[in-house]
Amino acid sequence: MSTELERARERLFKSLRRQGKWKAALDAMARVPRELFVPEESRPQSYEDIPLPIAEGQTISQPYIVALMTHALDVRPGDRVLELGTGSGYQAAILSLMARKVYTVERVASLAESASALLRSLGYGNVEVHKAGRELGLPEQAPFDAIVVTAAAPRLPRSLMEQLAVGGRLVIPVGSQHEQWLMKVVRKKGGYATSSLGSCRFVPLLGKDAWS
Ligand code: SAH
C-alpha cells in the first residue's frame, strides 16, 4: 500500500473510532483491504468515507454505513449470516471475520463470479457466494442469525423476515428508490420488533418481494 493510501486509511479509522462505538465492527473492517474491492481507478479514494462505483452500475457503500450496519447486526462468532447484494464482496469479507459462516447472494452473475474469486484468493474461506434465485434470500439455508441487505427494498420483505432464527437480526434499507430508512428487525418468539437506525441511500433491491 502506498504511504498516501496508508495515511488515508489511518485517518478514516481514526475518525470512525472517534464515535467511541462499533468497536467489534471497526476491528473487523480494519482487517479488510478495501482498496482490493474497488476498481483500479478508484483505489486512491478507497479510504475516503464515500461510496464508490463498482462494476454493473452498482456501488460499494460508504465505510460509515458499513460500520453502522455491521454493528447493528450484532454478529457473534457462532453465527450463520446471510447477505443480499454481494457486489464487490467487501461487506461479506468483513462479516466472515466475525461469523462462523457467511452466505452472500448476488443478482448479477458477473459480480457474483468476480467477488467469489476475489474472496477465495484473499483467503476468506467461510464465505459462500450464490447467484440469486427466484426467491429473495436463500430460503433453503434458513434460518439465519443475521441478515443484511445492502440494496434498498420498497417495504420490509416478509419472505426475508421468515428466514430469521428466533433472536435473529435483519438490517435493511426500506423506502423509495431515492431515499430510505435503515431498518432493524429482530425476530422474537411471538413476532418481530422493528426500529429505525437513520436515513440512507442504496441502489434498488430487484426481484420478487422487492422492486420489479
Ligand atoms: N455489499 C456490496 C455492495 C452491494 S451494491 C459490497 O460490499 O460491495 C447492491 C448489490 O445488490 C448489487 O450488486 C445488486 O446487483 C445486488 N442486488 C440487487 N437486487 C438483488 C437481489 N434481489 N438479490 C441479491 N442481490 C441483489
Q: For residue 103, how far is its CA from the centre of ligand 1 (angstroms)?
A: 13
Helix boundaries (H) for 18-100 = 23-29, 63-73, 90-96
Q: How far apart are CA 155 and CA 182, in angstroms?
A: 11
61 annotated active-site: yes
Q: For residue 83, how far is its CA from the centre of ligand 1 (angstroms)?
A: 9
Could you state, in chain order, the average pLDDT of each consecutive group of 10 residues for the chain (212 residues)? 95 95 97 97 97 95 97 98 98 98 98 98 98 97 98 98 98 97 97 97 96 94
Ligand 1 proximity of 137 Cβ (cutoff 6 Å): no
User: Quick check: 30 and 13 in contact, CB under 8 A?
Assistant: yes
**Ligand 1: which of 107, 138, 155, 160 to mutate, judged by most atoms within 8 Å of the beta carbon?**
107
In tens, the pLDDT along 94-141 reads: 999 999 999 999 999 999 999 999 999 999 999 999 999 999 999 999
Q: How far is CA 72 from CA 66, 119, 123, 184, 188, in A?
A: 10, 23, 25, 7, 16
